[in-house]
Amino acid sequence: MATRRKIKILFAAAEAVPFSKTGGLGDVAGSLPKALKEAGAKVAVITPKYSTIAWEYQEKMVHVADFYVPLAWRSIYCGIEKLTYDGVDFYFVDNEAYFKRDGLYGYFDDGERYAFFSKAICEAIAKLPELQCDVLNCNDWQTAMAPVFLREFYQESEACRNVKTVFTVHNVKFQGQFSDKVLNDILGLADIPAARDQLYCDRESINYMKGALCYSDTISTVSPSYAGELQMPFYGEGLDGIFRDRAWCLHGILNGIDTVSWDPQHDDAIAKKYSIKRMAGKAECKAALQEELGLRVDPERPLVVMIGRLTNQKGLGLVRYAMDKIMSRSIQVAILGTGDKDQEDAFKYFDWKYGDMMCARIAFDGALSRRMYAGGDILLMPSEFEPCGLSQMIAMRYGTLPVVRETGGLQDSVVPYNQYTGEGTGFRFANMNGDEMADTLIGACELFWTDKDAWKQLQKQAMETDFSWSRAAQDYLNMYYELHPELKK
Ligand code: ADP
């Protein structure tokens, strides 16, 4: 007989907005739990208490428990603090030796810091009734050892025995790979052959993500297409074989965006607010942006914007290759981002070369990004790989049509324009090829010039698309309930 009660989820992540963020994971951990709660689950989030968390939050945290966490031969202090934010209970793992640093990651002892965090999660489930859960959803390599520890060390615990584990991959590039010294000295798993075998990725290295992929009850990632790509050698970063073996339990669930924060109707950062029904404001935003960026103020020049990290992942080589071709068609390009020095330098050079038709802002500027999403006509995102991608969804919400490469979440969120039916929310191309990208972009500009009605219709369709977290939350809930058939929604 199935029991009808709320399913209890513990969401474990190394970063969560508004407390900590280096990338998309922080956004997901800050938004998805709230959506899960609204969809009917009981949810708590567990994350490290970094000293970089804003004081306004730290001072409101309440101490709920402390205990010692066993890590191989060590016994390490762990405090648990709690803060309810926006209706969701956040629990913070406190240990100053590990988390009182200038940043989040990139330290010599990251392998130890996040093994501690993962073990602390298991201890907290075992010791604190308020953290008991049906499903533990771990995210990325920093929490990857929790499913391994739970299975190897906590089966005696009444609270842990029935916990099912989900491991969510946000970016397979970062796997948490360390010298095999950690196996004995930190993880305490050297004498367990099954764990040893599943954690080794070469003769001398241990891979935390590999451990989680083997030990978790279910695996998910942030878009359906990326779930398929992870099984290919080109994208799988050496773990494609495991993704293929476990394809039967690999779920691809497209992320959402915060549709309250990203809304041209209520965005205070943009020159003029607008909506699907009253689009006039968008033209004002474009003129203001051209003015601000030193571009020629001309409504007839399509304004192509790019916002994001300036790294190879984002397909910038194609843009660099095709820049002259694009510029020869009187198209404006504006880039906002920071990243690899050679990329920054290349775009600074184009800025100089093309005067009032090209602008590169090498900065991280949230307010300017909003003005660009609002003022642009087209967002260009030719990524080599893209697990989900947020920029293209934000752009569509602002009626800025994306031109994307068909990969990962870009493929799943952008419907290509169909000239016969008028369907679509943007434009796509298939190959990592600069000419193909340029031709698709120029094709989009031709439509902008020659068929204003079709363009407006595409903008409307893009803005109407539902990118809210509530859609994703339903898919996550279904995945959780599959793990607990004795529970009913
Ligand atoms: P990734 O997670 O690979 O960096 P996403 O598209 O998923 O890429 O998310 C990037 C987010 O960061 C978007 O919200 C984008 O607007 C924002 N962003 C990236 N670079 C900048 C920048 N230089 N200034 C302001 N916002 C930025």
- CA dihedral of 428, 430, 431, 436, whole degrees rounded to 10: -50
337 lines ligand 1 (CB under 6 A): yes
48, 79 in Cβ contact below 8 A? no
> Residue 390: CB within 6 Å of ligand 1?
yes
**467 vs 119: CA distance, rounded Å:** 35
- What ligand 1 atom has the least distance to the C-alpha of 381? 6
Relative orientation angle of helices 110-127 and 145-153, to the nearest 10 degrees: 50
Half-sphere exposure of 393 (CA within 13 A, CB side): 24
336 Cβ closer than 6 Å to some ligand 1 atom: yes
82's tokens:
């709690």
**Residue 78: phi, psi to the nearest 5?**
-145, 120
Taking CA atoms, 276 is separated from 40, 185, 249, 461, 463, in Å, by: 31, 59, 39, 9, 7
Distance 405 CA to ligand 1 centre (A): 17
25: CB partners within 8 A, 6+ apart = 13, 14, 15, 139, 140, 170
Nearest to 218 by CA among 478, 486, 400: 478
Say if ligand 1 is within 6 A of residue 338 CB.
Answer: yes
336: CA distance to ligand 1 center in Å?
Answer: 9
* Cα-based angle 198, 201, 205 (whole degrees, multiple of 5): 110
* Residue with the two structure tokens 């981002």: 337
Contact by Cβ (8 Å): 382, 390: no
Answer left, alpha or beta for residue 39, where phi above 0 means left and psi between -120 and 50 means alpha: alpha
- The C-alpha atoms of residue 234 and residue 214 are separated, in whole angstroms, by 21
**pLDDT given for residue 1 in this prediction:** 62
- Rounded-to-integer distance, Cα 462 and Cα 424, Å: 8
- CA 391 to centroid of ligand 1, rounded, Å: 6
391 lines ligand 1 (CB under 6 A): yes
Contacts of 106 (CB under 8 A, 6+ apart): none
The sign of the dihedral angle between the CA atoms of 382, 408, 370, 22 is: negative
Q: What is the pLDDT along the chain (489 residues), one digit of tens a residue?
A: 677 789 999 999 999 999 998 888 998 999 999 999 999 999 999 999 999 999 999 999 999 999 999 999 999 999 999 999 999 999 999 999 999 999 999 999 999 999 999 999 999 999 999 999 999 999 999 999 999 999 999 999 999 999 999 999 999 999 999 999 999 999 999 999 999 999 999 999 999 999 999 999 999 999 999 999 999 999 999 999 999 999 999 999 999 998 998 999 999 999 999 999 999 999 999 999 999 999 999 999 999 999 999 999 999 999 999 999 999 999 999 999 999 999 999 999 999 999 999 999 999 899 999 999 999 999 999 999 999 999 999 999 999 999 999 999 999 999 999 999 999 999 999 999 999 999 999 999 999 999 999 999 999 999 999 999 999 999 999 999 999 999 977
The CA angle 441-444-445, to the nearest 5 degrees, is 90
CB of 408 sitting under 6 A from ligand 1: no
Find, among 285, 279, 223, 229, the residue nearest to 256 by Cα.
223
Q: In the prediction, which pLDDT does 437 show?
A: 98
Tokens found for residue 277: 């029904």
pLDDT of residue 22: 86
Reading the block at residue 246, the tokens are 């476990």
- The residue written with tokens 């604190």 in the block is 128
Question: Is the minimum distance from the CB of 309 to ligand 1 under 6 angstroms?
Answer: yes
Q: Is 406 exposed, middle or buried (0-12, 13-18, 19+ CB in 10 A)?
A: middle
Closest-lying ligand 1 atom to the alpha carbon of residue 23: 2
Other CB atoms within a 10 A radius of the CB of residue 197 amount to 9
Tell how strand 88-94 and strand 74-85 pair up. Answer: antiparallel
Kindly report the number of other CB atoms within 10 A of residue 17's CB atom: 15
Which candidate, 145, 141, 168, 162, places its Cα nearest to that of 479?
168
Task: Give the pLDDT score at 247.
Answer: 98
